[in-house]
Chains A and B, each alone.
Chain A
Amino acid sequence: DAKTTQPNSMESNEEEPVHLPCNHSTISGTDYIHWYRQLPSQGPEYVIHGLTSNVNNRMASLAIAEDRKSSTLILHRATLRDAAVYYCIRTSYDKVIFGPGTSLSVIP
């Protein structure tokens, strides 16, 4: 049980921002929100994670709703190399469970 819901697929034009949504309405107070992405034929790659506050790193930004029931991964300028499956995961101090993720296509 992944306990998160994401759209199956999304499209973006190259060089434009991308907002990938995730719902995690049953999140508990100790659950972190993690995002991973997986390129074809590779293992998943960590993107970003947060608990309550918005987070920024060199790859992306994570915007977390005030009630923590949803979050959005923001890629500021999509490139062709960002085409991947993006997984939103809620995890506490237990195992990491993946859902089906969002397949992001980037159009040149």
Chain B
Amino acid sequence: DTGVSQDPRHKITKRGQNVTFRCDPISEHNRLYWYRQTLGQGPEFLTYFQNEAQLEKSRLLSDRFSAERPKGSFSTLEIQRTEQGDSAMYLCASTRGGGTEAFFGQGTRLTVV
């Protein structure tokens, strides 16, 4: 297992378009987290899953954002009708459970033009 992988690494899109990112966690990890990070800031929590159940969503996750984790394996984060303010690094992390160490992917850098 090579760790948490995210795809794509970079995405440039025009304002108004929809984008979807994928995260493949470490296989035995049942928790999966999504974060957003802008330049000079720490990662901001967006949402997390315990297996396939989405347990919490941040207020940052507007109606244009949706995340899924079918079958408790990989997860997708979709942003509809992208805006320039959505430009950021989107990070995914997985853990075996609450309180244990989190392993992060390299992130997907989104640029909305």
Chain A residues within 8 Å of B, Cβ to Cβ: 2, 32, 34, 36, 42-46, 49, 85, 87, 91-101
Contact = CB atoms under 8 A, between A and B. Distances in A.
Contact of B43 (A34, A44, A46, A91): A44
Given A95-B45, A95-B56, A46 B33 contact: no
Given A32-B99, A34-B101, A46-B101, A96 B45 contact: yes
Nearest to B103: A46
Contacts of A98: 35, 42-45
Interface of B: 4, 33, 35, 41-45, 48, 56, 91, 93, 95, 97-99, 101-107
B99 A95 contact: no
Contact of A96 (B33, B41, B105): B33
Contacts, number: 54
B98 A46 contact: no
Contact of A100 (B35, B41, B101): B41
